[in-house]
Structure 1
Amino acid sequence: MKRIEKIYQQLFYNFNEMSLDQLLKVQGNTAQEIADQLEMERSNVSFELNNLVRSKKVMKIKMFPVRYIPLEIVESAFNQKWNNELMEVNELQELIGQQKRVSQTISTNPLELMIGAKGSLKKAVSQAKAAVFYPPHGLHMLLLGPTGSGKSLFANRIYQFSIYSKILKPGTPFITFNCADYYNNPQLLLSQLFGHKKGTFTGANDDKAGLVEHANEGILFMDEIHRLPPEGQEMLFYFIDSGMYNRLGETEHKRTAKVLFICATTENPSSVLLKTFLRRIPMTIHIPSLEERSLKEKVQLTTFLLGKEAERLQKNLNVHIDVYNALIHSAKLGNVGQLKSNVQLVCAHGFLNNLDREDVVELTVRDLPDEMKQEWISSSKNIERSKMISEYVNITTIISPIIEDETTKIDDELSFNLYNLIEEKVEILNKEGLTKKEINQYILTDIHLHVRSFFNQKAYHNYHLLKFVEDDVIQLTKQLKEVAEQELNCKFDRRFIYFLSMHIDAFLKRGKHIDVLNTQETDEIRNTHVKEYQVAMIFKDQIQQDFKLIVPEVEVIYFTMLIHSIKSLEETKRVGIVVATHGNSMANSMVEVATELLGHTPIVAVDMPLTVSPSEIIECLTTKIKQVDEGEGVLMLVDMGSLAMLESKLQQKTGINIKTISHVTTSMVLDAVRKVNYLNLNLHAIYDSVKKDFVELLVRQPISSGKKKALVSICTTGSGTAKKLKEILTTITQKATDDSIKIITVSSIKLANRIKEIEKEYEILATVGTKNPKISAPHISLEVLIEGEGEKVIQQAITTGDTSMPNGLNGQHIIVRELCEDSLKKYLVFLNPYHIIEILMEWLEVVQDELEVMLNNSTMIKVIMHTAFAFERVIKQNPIAFTEEEEINDKLLKAYKITEKTLKPYEEKLGLNISGDEKRFIATIFAEEL
């Protein structure tokens, strides 16, 4: 690779995952920074960077020292294209609001060119035209539609149509703003929209123009408008009414601008937007989901997206009609965004299978992802569907690369070339001596990870997910391979290094892990794979030692699962499931729901009409059990105990291990399928787990008395405490159940007589408060309630012993929120108490992961109260000084470092920096928990 290419690649890599806000902060790299990274002479790097500026590939930021940033990164972050002259600016902020200059004139009606313009989009196109032409300056619009339906694209087409119709001049601004980015910070939101005056708040070092000012004479597209808080909506409708605004911090000057607003939301606007704001947006346009589109439009959309992939490949695609069928009729297809994702997956598979062909990539059923392939294979309507599709495409359709102009261009987040990366990785893995099957397995895992995360989580700039990991991770993984082989008394091949290094590298890069397993699942994994868990603990210690960071427990669980998966990579055995019920369709309904929600698994339904004889039942079950057996046994879920009695006979007849659970429900089937698909448990482990969760629950449930249900709040004196306690209990009940539960307040003085009266009319689920009435229902003292355990007991009582419910609800920390809100509403002057609690609750989740502790409610309340007031004191410029002569031990030092590190992003979000002394106060609270 040439020197200039290495420098550009490094520059691109440094910024490819940054958000717009991050780019605006760092502004680019200096020549010295790139020289240090690549170990080159600064003068050589500077020479090549300036060559890249001259070749229109890199922008120069004329600061001191001068900084550089790839033009491709800037265009992607700003969602705009730049003219060739604009390659040097004083700072990136100058680019906000600059014109799109790819095409100064538009010769074809952009709205009419959209797929469905004369079909499902006909009404939307007509409404958009009417809104654009409405005198004197057009009507503000609200676009409604599900995620991925194409609202952003439609807004862009309205802008292009306005230029085409000469309503707007070529080059007038089209600005996109996502309201979700500033949901928790009204001050920053106000600054982004309307700008601010120098010195208005911490970090406001210069005067700044807002998006309204940049969008003057053009269009401002506000995505996810439902995330705009009421304050923001009020700011906007004042501007819409008057055309006037102030920058934040200005009191004397009234500024004016003429802006057409296009807003978009996935929610019901009447329930998420102020009525006063909605009245200012007179034109509501519905953008149909993919489901609402005709078959012809779905075929056209699929063809267009395949053409986009052909453009990237620079090859023709030879697409079989079965691929069209599978893509269009995928059961889980919800929107155009997901169709785009599936098209890319199929093309990536096809490309990998056609690497030896230079002219064309053939796409057949073998190139479908497993999940889509299974759906296609199992569908009984394929012949009928293919016949319908054949009206629009041939049995084999040749698709050539699409050459686009501005009117046919779609928002294309995947602007990098995935296929070049696949070629590079195949070449490297070939050199490592892997078989073709192993290479495909490794690369397809990467492709799925990349495309799914890209479209489902909108990780728009995650271009290097497929990049190989760093050398230090590879070296560590080789050491861990030796440890695992010694501890588990087995031999691993090279795949161990590839899979484990990829996982460790991903963990190091992503920082905070997103925990998708609950406590029960982690316990099952820990108890089922004891040896692998012990090895994973050794991995944890080594990673912590080498990289000086904390590895949370959930990551140890993932290592456990990974080690086990690599051990049994060649084994595809899973527990089979047979759902058998009396009647005509109950079992089938349960299985359909489970497979639709959780994907393909070895499961069959047996519906048994009451007229069927016992011998026929046994024959049918024998056939079905053999059908789903993969060598790990079969779990039978049945509706009556009589079927459970057949277990030993069926086991003798089939020679297959069978376990049976009675009283099957849809929830039980879902739980069993989830455990087979995702936890990789054996038959006995799944049987024990499902039985524990459901059968013991049924035995435990009390018989309903038929009375109305109530919680009793007991208070000595003082209406204030009683009122607050009632509010807390009301919130807990609303979160736990939809049933009506009465909250009854009783004075402890009259408790004995009053409780007897209540028991006559109500079934008392629990009592809460200062005195225990000593009845059969559980009693929770105020102290226990505030600590957090009481909340779980109440939820458990409400949900009649369903232990899975409290775990989910406890994460919402109802007591913490209620008590903190109550105090902060009274005493905070500048900060919004609701927003600061949300921010600090999120922060505490991070802290708990880092400290590897679970904080009780009392500690959480203490930390939230102190930190909220610490932020408030920053605004007042009155921080507290730490004067205590306390010895700085290891626990306090650890707590302080974690406090400082984890608070930093939230300080940046609020634009407020807490002093070191304040952080030491907070750290002392955490240190007590270590």
Structure 2
Amino acid sequence: MILMIDIYRNSLNNREFELLNAIHHDTLSKLKLNVLNDIGCDATTLSNQLFIERSNVSRTLNRLCRNGLLTKIQGRPTLYFDKTAVAYYFPEVFLPDILPLNVTLLRYLEENYAFNIRTGHIFANFFGTLEQEALFNLTEEAKAALYYPSESLSLLLYGQEHTGKREFAKRLFAVGLNRRLFPNKEAYYYLDCNDCSESTSFSKTLEAILMTKTTRKFIVIDSFHLLTDKEQHKLKKIINEKSYFSPQEKMTIRPNCMFLLLTSEPSFDPSQFTDPFSITLDMPSLDQRTMKEKLLFILSFFQKEADAIQKIIRFSYNVLNCFTLSRYPRNILSLELEIKRAIALAFHQQVDQKSPINLTFDHLSDNLLNNMQTDTQMIDELYHIYHLLTSPIDKNDIVLMPNQESLLTRFIEKNILYDRNHLPYNKLLIATSKESTDSPRELVRPLLKQFYNKKLNLQQLSHPQLVTEIQVHFSSLGFDQSAALLNGLVAYFDPLLSNQDDSLADHTYESMTAVTQACRDFLSYLKQQYHFKANEHEALFLQTYIEDALLIAQNSRPAIVVVTGTLPRGEIYTTFANSLPYTTKVISMEAAQLLPHAQTLTSHLKRLDEGKGIVFLINDDVPKEVLTLLSTYPRDYLVIDKMTIQTLEKVVRLSDNPFNFIEDLSRALQPDGTCLTGGPDTLIPIIKQDILDKSLVFLNPTKIVDSAVSVFYAIIHELQMAYDDSLFIRFLLHVSFMVERMLLENCLTYQNINLFINEHHEINTVIDRQMTIIRTTYNIIIPQSEIAYITEIFLDGK
């Protein structure tokens, strides 16, 4: 594709070249300023700038777009930006020829980077991803062999002991599994030649693997240098000819498999194995890697130990400096032993064994300190990395918390893996010293320092620029943190403004006012675009569902959402979610979080689902009212209320067929499907007592249900619709929580509200008129956004 673009560039006529050059400079200037939300140039502007007729400009731009040089953002006006300029700044992201209506480049990059980080970078925390790093070429060549068309090329990996060759094999297989090059996890076979005795010869074991019925296999053969010459010759022949004759079956088979041979033999000569291996890779030792790669190893091992011993581990950057600069004669094994030794000594010496483990110089071994390197270049490289770590932090300690996707993990994925100044994932806070990372206000202090470190002249910036700047900063944290951080940011500024505190030196009262207002503007933007509510926990809950549905929609597969009353740690549900062949989420929730926003959730999932279907798996400890609500979802939503081992096995087995998954699962789990029926006389007491009485804060359930029931029957009579249990339940629940929201002045927003009303004007008008009873009873104003959600309920029932 790049070659074709270059060829086409060379054949441009003068007008095409002039327009492309103008758009290239416009795109490049906005990329340098990180103005990703406003990127693109329209035909009218170009026509005025270059004095070319408007119609000719449009035709030429469309032609450049068709030939892959530009990307078009649909809308009024239609915008164009230069693909090659954006690809230089964001090489990991595929850029389409056309972006849909209202999808800016920033939004597209956010969605695609989030997807890449979660599904594409299997080598996170372990391998280099930038060209200057020791493992970059190795991982690129390995993935090239894996992605080879038709069937993967086999690899030979050699190097010193304990350099991570086996872990490399596992992660390479995970990449292939993620790309669907292998059918499932059972396609991974590991054969250690150290374990092959005379009774279990290598040939017999390999034949058993090759004769299995897996469509495509990934076979790792460790310490293959221990094989006899005859066995090595036989293995080479199988790999070279891609066929195997079975003496027992008396037949020749052609196994579709990728071989990865590992060896740590010091005298190994790779030149003897160029046939049949077109790619042989030398795994560098730990001391041959860059400071950044060593730092990844050390932080990852400390995090692993914090998870294993269920303790908080705290240490200074000076201690981390000693670990990073030291040499390790036995590579990862030596590093792991040094880390465990230091933690064990610190734990033994602390007075209160329930407090965090504090590592100091006293806990480091003489061997570790004596092996420290003093090379100036290494220290300078390490200083640069530490600057990324420490610049947003007032403290000097790193704190690793057990059993959580900590800020350390986010830093590794979004900063070290994407260490380019022009990316929005820049300088992310990884830890604080004494304060809890759960407090939004405490997270704000270092973030403010990071913001001001850019030395922006805030008084010269207009409001839109401020909002864009802050949006870029906070997008690096992911929207799951933005609401809490922005609320905390505003809360932190308000006392400063009221006291005119000058603790943030060199910044005026007017500057802080401007930043506060900009943060509030951006928070309003989040509320409007992503349905954030005043309660940050409800906002995060909804956002989790929406992001998951979006990822699933990108995968074009049905969604499976596992709902548990309390999130289990290390139990079968987590394992189950990780074993499925597409994105899933284990979510801990309470009825009070789900019920008030049920209709919003339904609307978002329906728009993103596009008919692929969603399955809710419900654990036994989930409240009954949640089960009642979920049973009212449309037919392409399947609710299973008994999450047994047998149920999970059926889901995993049937999930390989995404096209008939919902139907197949419904038939296979017929006894497990749940449904709430019985007519209004049966349902009204259940809704009042089991759901509304427990969930409404101050409304009288009987009063609101009586009012809503009369409105419901008036609506279905005027719309000439038949009564339906599901319709009845969803309407009563939504209206009840809607009234309580209106009394709190916390209404929902609805995207593209005018377009929706125009498309469904008649139904919307009927519902709006009949809701007068609710308005007068509670003396409230019901906005059109709330009416639109009620309209959707009746549209689903038609």
Measured against the shorter chain, the TM-score band is 0.3 to 0.5
Normalised by the length of structure 1, the TM-score is 0.28
Normalised by the length of structure 2, the TM-score is 0.32
